[in-house]
Structure formats: C-alpha cells, structure tokens
Amino acid sequence: MAGMDRPQIINRTLFARISAEAQASPRRRKNYNFHGSDMDASHRLLNAMEPDSYIQPHRHLDANKDESIIVLSGRFGIVFFDQAGNVTEVVTLSSGGEAVGVNIPHGEFHSLVALESGSLFFEAKAGPYQALTLEEKASWAPAEGESGAVAYLAKMKALCQESAHSFRDRL
C-alpha cells in the first residue's frame, strides 16, 4: 500500500512495475493502492490486468459502491449483464480511444476483460473494503478458478473483439 504520507508521481515506470507484478501473479492482475487501508472511506488504486485474468461477473449492492474506472494504459472490454446473465452492453475502453473510462452504478452486473498485455486502469470507489457476497456474484457464471472460467473468459473476449470491430465499422 502506498498510503498518503507524501506526494507520489504516477508515471510509466510505476505502470511497468505494477504490470510486471500482474504478469508474475497467479491471478494475472495486481492492484496498487493509494488509500492507506481497506478501512479507508475512499479507495483509489491502479489495477494492472493481463488478458488471461478472469473476473467473475458481479455487482456491488451497497448504494455507496458505485465505481469509476479510467484506462491509463492498454485496452479493456467491459461487459454488462442483466439479472439472468444476458449481455446488455459491451464497450471497448482504451487509453487512446474514444471511450477511456466508465462509471458503474451499484447493482449493475459487469466484468472487465484485459484485451492487451500491460493494460492498467485507475479505479475509485467508496470504502471500506467488503468482500463480494453470494448475492453480488453472478450465479450464472463460473467463479474464478472453477472449470468453465477459461471458456467464459474466452466468450467475453470474443464479444469485446466483435464490439470493437462493430464500433469501427460505424465510424
């Protein structure tokens, strides 16, 4: 944890370090916190993700848990779902693209997919940290590490790639 004991410059060297840690991590992602502890009222962090990192679709039910994401490096797909697991929207976010970030209201099922190695985003949401409850995890999608997670990630990636091509075709 970085904490707030002194100013910290956010630069490409920091991005490279966090991305290298994500590449070495079994979960293939790594966060770098600017908040001092999980109990802080405001969580601000960098999150590096590799393309083979799977985040089970989920939602945050706490009315204070809207989250904002801004892509700083690389490219991500964000997939939104309805309560039954049907895809409602797919958007490609990239640091140099038209869409660079998203604000996700609480209660909205979503997942994020890294589409390039070295992808990294800034995230802000209210603390304190709360582990996801069963009701917040998508029962219709495999959990991280379960059989089927790799195939589900591949399906989401394909949707994101298709979305990117469709968007380019509409320009």
Domains and CATH numbers, the chain: 12-170 (2.60.120.10)
Contact 121, 94 (CB under 8 A): no
Give the pLDDT confidence of 137-160 residue by residue, as tens digits.
Answer: 999 999 999 999 999 999 999 999
* Band of pLDDT at residue 170, cut at 50, 70 and 90: very low
* Cα gap 101→68, rounded to integer Å: 7
> DSSP strand E in the chain: where?
29-33, 42-49, 67-73, 75-81, 87-94, 101-104, 109-114, 119-126
* Separation in Å, CA 70 to CA 48, 111, 125, 152, 154: 12, 15, 12, 24, 23
Q: Which residues of 133-171 are buried (b: 16+ CB within 10 A; e: fewer)?
A: eeebbbeebbeeeeeebeebbeebbeebeebbeeeeeee
CA 139 centroid distance within chain:
19
Q: Is 15 helix (H, G, I), strand (E, B) or coil?
A: helix
Q: What is the pLDDT of residue 168?
A: 40
What integer is the mean pLDDT of 73-83? 97
Give the pLDDT confidence of 106-131 residue by residue, as tens digits.
Answer: 999 999 999 999 999 999 999 989 89
* Band of pLDDT at residue 166, cut at 50, 70 and 90: low
* Band of pLDDT at residue 36, cut at 50, 70 and 90: confident
* Band of pLDDT at residue 171, cut at 50, 70 and 90: very low
